[in-house]
Structure formats: structure tokens, C-alpha cells
Amino acid sequence: MIHVVAIITAKPGMRGQILEHFRANMPAVHAEKGCIEYGPAIDAEGMGKFQTPFGADTFLVIEKWESKEALAAHAAAPHMAAYAAKTKELIASRVIHVLEPAA
């Protein structure tokens, strides 16, 4: 299994607009072969000093894929290119971590 944590920081005030495009793209991603989990997450409210928040302009994409090949196919999917084109000008930064279970 492959895990992905993508940290997306929107330009100020644009997170909601990116998330609209993201949610519209989710059904196509969930239908992909090898997709186990794919969804957005934001800072939980009320966690106090226990938490290190990402902030109001950032969201994470939490993903699980059956294999590296499934993830590679996802990255090359036409609907992902379309999503990237719609959100390119709204994103300030994007960091993607691809992980595998520790032995």
C-alpha cells in the first residue's frame, strides 16, 4: 500500500474555491483502479496547544493507493490534469509526501 499526504496552501482566501474543484473531482478519483482513500482534511477546531495548525489557507489530501502503479496512473489521469488547470492560479504552494508502511 502507498500513502500520500499532500499539503496544499491556497493563495489567501482561495481555499474554499480550490476545495469546490477538489470535491467535484473526487468521484472520478474514487472510481480509479487502486484508490482506497482520497479526501481533503483541514485543521480540527478546539485542539488547543496539543495541535500545530496548518492555517486557514491550507488543506491536506489524505490518500491511500493499492500500489505505486495505481498512484502513477492517478497522477497521469486526464481528470487530474483538468483539476490542476482549474486550480493552478489559486494555489500558493503544494508539497506531496509519498509514503509506504515501515517494515
* pLDDT for position 61: 98
Q: Could you give the CA distance from residue 84 to residue 99 in angstroms, rounded to a whole number? A: 22
* pLDDT for position 51: 92
* pLDDT for position 69: 98
Structural domains of the chain ordered from first start: 12-44+65-103 (3.30.70.100)
Cell numbers representing residue 49 in the block: 496547544
pTM, to two decimals: 0.93
Question: Rounded to the nearest 10 degrees, what angle do helices 78-87 and 68-76 cross at?
Answer: 60
Per residue in 60-93, pLDDT (tens digit) is 999 999 999 999 999 999 999 999 999 999 999 9
Per residue in 7-65, pLDDT (tens digit) is 999 999 999 999 999 999 999 999 999 999 999 999 999 888 889 999 999 999 999 99
